[in-house]
Every structure is written in structure tokens, then in C-alpha cells.
Structure 1
């Protein structure tokens, strides 16, 4: 009987001790959470217990804290991106708009000839068209990036689309004395895409290449790792690794290209459309050569 009582006392003592440590652990978690919430501290819970369940609870709370921290960081980045986008758009709108206003003021002068008036009108019209292009691109990008913007995806022959767009750009390449090396398989390759969006993607990529390529452009279409890969490469000694990292950002252009060459939205539109077609697009620079890789889901014929 005494043995049984002794065993019971040991068990009760153990349970009371364990309960005490559990309560201290819960109290510690509560105090840390209050401190984190009230003082906006950026830290995780620290706890050491014999109770695996309490430890698991603390780990889950830490995961929630990490998600909240990441969400806050994403919100800050999104706000910064929005401010930068507005600043960039304001800059790009102001430039042609200021020019148009300037030439209109010139046209009001009494001592200018008819030839000068025609010249000023032509320049103002060119600036107005560049302004229209910027607004159209920005509007299109805003549509593409909206959550409810959907594409009609279907089976598309990418060989056919690539060849058609290449033919439409042939004169542009020739006018700049750019040699184009094309590697396209003889057999047709089918992907999941929308025809007009795929045309826009390839057209924007080739237009970008026409503007900035030095002398040679390599275009390769192939199947790789059960995906369709379209690679477009051109030498550009002025680009850096940082340029490749940000090349698909809205309004991003290297300093040397902030001119009338473009709006800085063409590749951002490309990225948005490729992602809407469940594809992927990346870029890198190897030996002064800019490589852009588009990957699409393949459809087995």
C-alpha cells in the first residue's frame, strides 16, 4: 500500500511539475506575442519545452509570423513599385508633352515661314504619336496584369507564328544590316497559347532586338525538358547583369536607351502575356550576349 501511494505521489508530482512548465511556456508565448504585436517587433517566438504539442504550436505561430512579415515586405515592395511606375510614367509623358507644347508655341510666332511651320507640325505629330504609343502600351499592360484578364488558350502551331512574324520583321532587320540566324525544327511544334498574344510576344521580342542588336541575331526554337523553348540572342556590349535582371520591369531601360527608341513597356507586356499563357520567360547575359528564353507547355501531336 505504501508502495502504491509512493508511486502515485511521484506521478502526481511529475504531472504537477509538467503542468507548471506547460503553463509557464504558454505564459511565455502569450507575453512574446503581446510584445511582438504592441511594439511591432520583428522576431520569432523562442521556447523550449518538454511538450511536443506546445513546441509544434510555437512553430506554427512562427510560420504565421513569417508569412505576415513576407506579406508586409511584399506590400512595401508593391507600393514602391507603384510609386516608381507613376514617377517613370510621369517622366515619359512629360517629355513628348513638353515638346508638343513647345512646337505649338513656335507655330504661333509671326516671323516663321511656311516650311518651318510644316517642320514644326511634323515634329509635334511625331511626339504626339509617341505619346499615344506610351498610353496604349500602359493601358494594355494594366489590362494584362489585372486578375480578371483571361486569354483563350488553345493548341497553336508556334513554328507557323514565328515564321510569319519573322517575315513581317525581315525588312526591319535588313534596314539595319542585321544578320539573322534561324534554327527552327522541320516538324511542327504545338503549344498551349493564344494566337494574337503569342504574335504580340514574338513581335515585341523581335522589335526589341531590331532596336538594340549590333550585327547578328540568333533565333532558336526547340523542345527541351518536355517544354518548348524559344531563345532569342543578340550581342549588346553595353548591357550589364543588372540590366538582364530588370529587363522585364515596367519602364525599365538602360540609361543609354532612354530616348525615342521605346516606352520601356514592351518587354513588361511580353512577360505578362507569357505568364498568362502559363509559360515562363527569363533573361541572362553571357559573353556580352543578351539571351531571352521563353518556355511554353508542349502539346504532343
Structure 2
């Protein structure tokens, strides 16, 4: 009987010590959490007591800390990206507006010749057109990002659509003295996409090539297994691997001074639209040749 009482007393003492240390450990965890939340320390919660329940609690607390840090990092990057986006938009809008304002001031001059007046009006109209393109691109991008953006997917003859898009750009190719090397599959190829949107994507890719090609470009449309791939490539000057890595980023332009015409939105819009239609788009650099590939799942006739 005495032995049993002694054992019970020992068990009670052990439990009391365990409770005391557990309470102390909980206070320690609470203190660490307070410092973490106040930003005084930037690490995870640590424990000294070996206790399965407290270890599990600490594990989940540290998991929550990791998730919060990830959210804070994403928020920081988002704010930084938003700040850069607003700055780029402001720059792109300010440039044509400043130009238009300047030519309007010229038009107010009393001693202006008729020939000069016509020239200034023509230039101002050109700048207004560029400004309209900018605003339309900004608006279109905001629509693509919205939850209400709707697409109408259906089976399309991509061969026919591509031919129409290339023909519609004939004068642009001719103006740049570019004669594209075209290699299209002899058979009609079909994909599932939104007709209006796929035409916009192809148009943006053609526009990019016409604008930046040095003196040659290549266009192909092929079926490989269950995929249909449209490739457009051109030789380009002063383009780097870094440029290619960011080529689909919003407002990204290889011309860091942003002195060229454009917004850096064309390829970003193309990528977003392609993603909406369940396709893929990528870019690679082979020497001085930029190649962009647009891929969709092939549909049988």
C-alpha cells in the first residue's frame, strides 16, 4: 500500500512538473509570436520541451508564418509591379499628349504658312492615332484580366485564318521591304479557339515581326502529333536572352528608353488571350533570330 502511494505521488509530481513546463512553454511560444507579429524578430517559433502536442502546435504555427511571409512577398511584388505599370502607362500617355500639345501651340502662330499648318495638323493627327492605340491596348488588357471576360470557343480552320491574317498585312510587309518565307501544311488544320481572339493574337505576332525584323522573317504552320504549332521568326538587332525571358511581360520593351512607338503590350495581350483559349505561347533566341511559337491542341476533321 505504501509502495502504491509512493508511486502515485511520483506520478502526480511528474504530471505537475509536466504541466508547469508545458505552461511555461506556451508562454514562451506566445512571447515569440508577439515579437514576430511586432516585427521584432524574423524567424520561426522554437520550443525547448519535448511534447508531441506542443510540437504539432508549433509546426502548424510555423506553417502559418511561412504562408504569411509568402503573402507579404507576393503583395510587395504586386505593389512594385503596379507602381512600375502606372509609371510606364503615364510615360506612354504623356509622350503623345505632349507632342499633340506642342503642335497645337505651333498652329496658333500668326505667321504660319499653309504648308506648315497642313504638316503640323497631319503630325498631330498621327499622334492622336497613336494615343488611341495606347488607350485601346490599356482597355483591352483590363478587359482580359476581368472576371467578366467571355470567349466563344469553337472549331476553327486555323490554316484559313492564318492565310487571311498574312494577306491583311501584305502592305505592311511590302512597306518594310520584307518578303516572308511561308511554309504551311498542305492539309487544312483545325483547332478550338475564339475566332476573333485568335486573329488578334496572330495579328499581334505579325505586327511584332514586321516592326522589329531586320531583313527576313519565316512563318510556318505544322501539325506535330496532337498539336498544331504556328511559328514566326525573324532576325533582330540588339536583342538579348534577358529580353526574350521578359518579352511577354506587360510594358516590357527592349528599348529601355521607351523611345520607340508602342506600349510593350502587344505580346502580353497575345499571351493572355492564348492562355484564355487553353493554348500556349513561348519565345526563344537562336543566335540573332527570335522565334515565337503558338501551340494549340489539334482537332481532327
1:54-90, CA deviations, whole angstroms, 9 ceiling, x for partnerless residues? Answer: 4343333222222221211222222222222221122
How far apart in 2 are the matches of 1:16 and 1:297? 68
C-alpha displacement at 1:234, in angstroms?
1.7
The farther-off stretch of 230-239 and 127-136 is 230-239
> Aligned equivalents of 1:42 and 1:286: distance in 2?
44
Q: Write out aligned runs for 1:51-90 (5 A).
A: 51-90=51-90
Q: Determine if the alignment matches structure 1 residue 208 to structure 2 residue 208.
A: yes
Shift of 1:298: 4.2
Partner of 1:255: helix, strand, or coil?
A: coil
Corresponding position of 1:175: 175
For the pair 1:91 / 2:87, whether they are aligned, the reply is no
Residues 282 and 26 of structure 1: CA distance in aligned 2, closer, same or farther (over 3 Å):
farther
In structure 2, runs of 5+ residues without a counterpart are none
Deviations 1:135-189 (A, max 9, x none): 1111111111123322222333322322221222233223323242334333444
Contact 1:48 1:55 in 2 (8 A): no
Q: How many angstroms apart in 1 are the aligned matches of 2:300 and 2:52?
A: 50
Asked if the contact 2:185/2:223 (under 8 Å) is kept, the reply is no
Change (3 A) 1:24 1:216: farther
Listed as ranges, the matches of 1:167-246 within 5 Å are 167-223=167-223, 226-246=226-246
Partners of 1:150 and 1:276 within 8 A in 2: no
Matched position secondary structure for 2:38: helix
Distance 1:237 1:114, change over 3 A: closer
- Provide the C-alpha distance between the structure 1 equivalents of 2:10 and 2:219, rounded to a whole number of angstroms: 79
- CA RMSD of superposed structures (Å): 2.8
Deviation at 1:5, TM superposition (A): 6.7
What TM-score do the two structures reach when normalised by structure 2? 0.86
- Partners of 2:229 and 2:49 lie apart in 1 by 52
Alignment of 1:1-301 (within 5 A): 19=19, 22-39=22-39, 41-47=41-47, 50-223=50-223, 226-255=226-255, 258-299=258-299, 301=301
8 Å contact from structure 1 (residues 180, 218) kept in 2: yes
Question: Shift in Å at residue 112 of structure 1?
Answer: 1.7
Does structure 1 retain, via aligned residues, the 8 Å contact 2:179–2:217?
yes
2:31 counterpart SS class: helix
